[in-house]
Structure 1
């Protein structure tokens, strides 16, 4: 089969090669891959800068969708021919993957493969953050930074489904329009306006109840000054390249909660073992999200599709920050 192989750290040492298909495991599900999700995290892994460091040689990629071709002897949930979406710790940039059954999920017939690859980490992170962790309630105000990226659009859509008023920030009119089309009530161009002042004005001085921040840096710092008392802040990424330091005095005097969420923990990719019952909880979440997608309530946006051999172009687009939504590879 063909796969993208990183022989040493960095894109210059990464290329499409013909390799031996991955070995089957007792609870594995072999998938003929039709679509692969492309993310900034993939680029960090290739460069050796991600917390989940891989020793070369390896194949990057964590999100795939396709058709089951084989199941391990102890896998009981799927059969050959099933349409599925899956999360894998590594190995996704390939024509075949073998994924643990616990991270493979049945795909509704009317949800396409290209749309599906946004669910294993992108929509799942937004769901886990807003539903499980923040407990976002109907009528609350949700502030979403980086609202036109894959994570941001997912948070906008799920926030609206939960009944929140959604304020979106982005750096161009085109990106703000995308956020509005996916459900945001208000858009703020952070390059033209001070989002802190705008959020306070839009909330009668109270601030946002929940803040979803994939940017970090100064955006996080300013967000602490426009969060409502008893608000919940979710620093779920650092696209700015700057990891903020959290001033404990502000957390104290504003009675706010800082929420950590690493979705890889729920997929079994973390160093710590999962709590009992986690796979069942995760499967229920995917069932709900994919049902929403089937009903047209979630609408993943694919900015562009590339053949797998053009993976470097796809990663360059992601790195340039020009992408609205997600980029997909097709083997």
Structure 2
């Protein structure tokens, strides 16, 4: 089979499209024929050895896949031909992938492989953020940064499905228009130097009850200025490349809190199962409408990663295999 390998040279330029041998499966893993594989910003970081997970080199990047089961352990619930999707540690940007039996979920017949590949990380993360990291209520206002990206757009849709008022930020009119189409009530360009004041104006000076921040850096720091009293800032990621250093006194004076949004199948299996059940109900009811960018094939991974790196994408970038 063919797939991508990150070896000695770091970053996108170090990726090689080569023939690969899939490690032999065991009684804990499925072999999946990959039909679609989704990109995450963490794939860029992992290729540069800047992510908290650092696979031994050489390795195949890729953490979200959808496809059909080629082989399954005899005692597992899965069988050859089953349509499945999953988050995996790495190894997704290839024609086949090893997937843990404990992390895979079945794809309903009305959901395509391309759409299914967009769900395991970004939508699950936003579900965890609003149903577990905090209990978002319909009478609250949530500020979503990078609202036209994969994880941000998922957050807009889920927050709106809950009934919250959504303020979305993004870097262009096109991206803000997309966020508005998917439920944002107020849209603000955070390239505007006065964006914090615009958020305050939109909340009558009170600030946002919940701030969803996948950007970090200065955006995360400035967000504290428009956080409501007793509010919470959800730390989702650091797409800016800089980790926000949060001054504790700002949280103290507002009786506010900062909470990391993170989940892992080994520790949160029951939680993730519950989130997936809720997500599929929302999809069935038409409350979620994921935007999937399928411009790129598996062979075009470097182009797709550069587009993601340069903020030239909207929604979720999914490679067709």
1:121-144 deviations in whole A, cap 9, x for unaligned? Answer: 111111111111111011200000
Separation (CA, whole Å) in 1 of partners of 2:235 and 2:195 = 17
Q: Match of 2:296?
A: 306
Q: 1:290 aligns with which of 267, 280, 286?
A: 280
Q: Match of 2:197?
A: 197
Alpha-carbon RMSD across the aligned residues, in angstroms, is 1.4
How far residue 287 of structure 1 moved from its aligned partner, in angstroms, is: 2.1
Q: Match of 1:271?
A: none
| Unpaired segments ≥5 residues, structure 1 | 269-273
How far residue 193 of structure 1 moved from its aligned partner, in angstroms, is: 5.5
Separation (CA, whole Å) in 2 of partners of 1:304 and 1:320 = 17
1:144-182 deviations in whole A, cap 9, x for unaligned? Answer: 011011011000000001110000001110000010011
Separation (CA, whole Å) in 2 of partners of 1:83 and 1:246 = 43
Q: Match of 2:39?
A: 38
Q: Match of 1:22?
A: 23
Separation (CA, whole Å) in 2 of partners of 1:14 and 1:145 = 30
Q: Match of 2:88?
A: 88
1:211-248 deviations in whole A, cap 9, x for unaligned? Answer: 00111122112211111111010121111222121111
Separation (CA, whole Å) in 2 of partners of 1:317 and 1:36 = 16
- TM value normalised by structure 2: 0.96
Q: Match of 1:318?
A: 308
Q: Match of 2:270?
A: 280
Separation (CA, whole Å) in 1 of partners of 2:17 and 2:284 = 34
- Asked if the contact 2:7/2:58 (under 8 Å) is kept, the reply is yes
Q: Secondary structure of 2:222's partner?
A: helix
- Asked if the contact 1:28/1:75 (under 8 Å) is kept, the reply is no
1:30-84 deviations in whole A, cap 9, x for unaligned? Answer: 21110000122111111111111122111000000011122113422x2222211
Separation (CA, whole Å) in 2 of partners of 1:83 and 1:241 = 35
1:186-213 deviations in whole A, cap 9, x for unaligned? Answer: 1011223622111111111111000001
Separation (CA, whole Å) in 1 of partners of 2:173 and 2:283 = 26
- TM value normalised by structure 1: 0.93
Q: Secondary structure of 1:127's partner?
A: helix
Change (3 A) 1:193 1:245: closer
Q: Match of 1:259?
A: 259
Q: Match of 2:76?
A: 75
1:71-128 deviations in whole A, cap 9, x for unaligned? Answer: 113422x222221111110101111112111110111111111111121111111111
Q: How does 1:52-201 map to 2 (within 5 A)?
A: 52-76=53-77, 78-192=78-192, 194-201=194-201
How far residue 324 of structure 1 moved from its aligned partner, in angstroms, is: 0.7
Q: Which moved more, 1:203-212 or 1:67-76?
A: 67-76
Q: Match of 1:13?
A: 14
Q: Secondary structure of 2:249's partner?
A: helix
Q: Which moved more, 1:208-217 or 1:238-247?
A: 238-247
| Unpaired segments ≥5 residues, structure 2 | none
Q: Match of 1:234?
A: 234
Runs of 4+ in 1 over 4 A off after TM superposition: none
Separation (CA, whole Å) in 2 of partners of 1:280 and 1:228 = 32
